[in-house]
Amino acid sequence: MTGQRAAREPYTTRFETEVTAIDGRRVWLETSFFYAASDGQPADRGTIGGISVADVRTVDGEHVHILETEPSFRTGHHVLCSIDWSFRMYCMRAHTASHICYGAARRVLEPAEATYAGHEIGEETVGLDLETGAIDDEALIELDATINRVVWESRPVSWDDVSIGDAREREEITFDEEHTAAAVESGRVRTVTIGTRDESGNGNGSSFADTRRSWDVTACDGTHVRNTREVGPVTVVGRTTRDDGSSRIELAVGPAAIERRAAEKRAALAVTDELGVDLDRVPRTIDRLGASSEHPSPRD
């Protein structure tokens, strides 16, 4: 299978391996489960031989681990490596959430207006970039509901690889050769599939679902969870227009999503208290107040 070892075995976070080369703070390992920064996903954090890893990059097809300080171990030594599970799992959840969001965008927005243009996993939010038309508030609300419905449905997530020819020809596979170049290796493309759900609305449990009926199939070299239920809470934060004209949908995942939901709930309750109406009547009440302010009575 193509791609980084971390992407193939994302749940591996502790391993022992031999040091094959050292150049100052740069270290090469015989085997590495560290994820090297690629296509919008940041590098893993962790330690090698007890020394913190500052960055991981791919150079000439090899992982280069940049440590915080020069190591005391030498070439030929075996070292214990530990990957920061909390950050790895956040990236797995966040990256899977971006795939779910893209599948939702192709259904909520016009398919021809939801072309993938990249993504970026940040500390607080995940950005999904699309070549698309305007995304209004109602579309954002529908995206939020659709994403969380797919999380709730516990759909299986799997990864495999196909030939470049197949990836280009099969309409169900999103293969952006510019933004997902890292997913290509030796004439094959690594794909990540979010599968179908059964008639009861639950994930079908199959590791490799029929991609023609799947929620999303995208060429990708990132780390992902095995099931959408592992993504946890997701909130659509908003949308922005980027300098290149593409639209970015911003998501919050995990604790950031919970905090965002709490802030939205707090704001909604404040509005209901101020207006003295139930939440479902707020939009109509605001419209009525707006209309009355535009057409004041003669005594005003």
Under 8 Å between Cβ of 107 and 132: no
Over residues 57-108, the pLDDT tens digits come to: 999 989 999 999 999 999 999 999 999 999 999 999 999 999 999 999 999 9
Identify the weakest region by mean pLDDT among 11-25, 210-224, 272-286.
Answer: 272-286
Say how many domains are in the chain: 2
> Are 68 and 127 in the same domain?
no
Binning pLDDT at 50, 70 and 90, where does residue 274 land? confident
- DSSP secondary structure code for residue 141 in this structure: H
CATH of the domain at 183: 3.30.980.10
Over residues 219-267, the pLDDT tens digits come to: 999 999 999 999 999 999 999 988 888 899 999 999 999 999 999 888 8
> Are 76 and 98 in the same domain?
no
| Residues 33-40, mean pLDDT to the nearest whole number | 95
* Domain boundary pick from 83, 111, 128: 83
CA distances (Å), 184 to each of 94, 130, 144, 216, in order? Answer: 22, 21, 31, 18
- pLDDT value of position 111: 59
**In this structure, is residue 154 part of a structural domain?**
yes
Side-chain-side CA neighbours of residue 41 (13 Å): 31
> Are 57 and 98 in the same domain?
no
> Are 96 and 69 in the same domain?
no
Backbone angles phi, psi at 195, to 5 degrees: -80, -165
> Are 94 and 191 in the same domain?
yes
* Domain boundary pick from 44, 60, 83: 83
Q: Which residues pair with 81 in a beta bridge?
A: 15, 48
What is the pTM for the complete model shown?
Answer: 0.88
CA distances (Å), 21 to each of 30, 51, 54, 59, 267, in order? Answer: 9, 16, 17, 14, 55
> Are 179 and 51 in the same domain?
no
- pLDDT value of position 172: 87
Domain residue limits at 44: 5-83
Under 8 Å between Cβ of 55 and 37: yes
Under 8 Å between Cβ of 40 and 121: yes
| Residues 23-35, mean pLDDT to the nearest whole number | 98
Over residues 156-207, the pLDDT tens digits come to: 999 999 999 998 999 889 888 877 888 888 889 999 999 997 544 555 444 4
The helix or strand, by DSSP H or E, that contains position 127, with its residue range, turns out to be: strand 126-131
- pLDDT value of position 200: 47
Q: Which residues pair with 14 in a beta bridge?
A: 82
**In this structure, is residue 155 part of a structural domain?**
yes
- DSSP secondary structure code for residue 227 in this structure: B
Alpha helices in 122-279 (DSSP H): 137-152, 164-169, 255-275
**In this structure, is residue 295 part of a structural domain?**
no
Under 8 Å between Cβ of 222 and 90: no
- pLDDT value of position 282: 67
Q: What angle do CA 203, 232, 225 make, to 5 degrees?
A: 60
- pLDDT value of position 190: 94
The answer, yes or no, to whether residue 34 has pLDDT greater than 50, is yes
The answer, yes or no, to whether residue 2 has pLDDT greater than 90, is no
> Are 116 and 244 in the same domain?
yes
Binning pLDDT at 50, 70 and 90, where does residue 286 land? confident
| Residues 37-53, mean pLDDT to the nearest whole number | 96
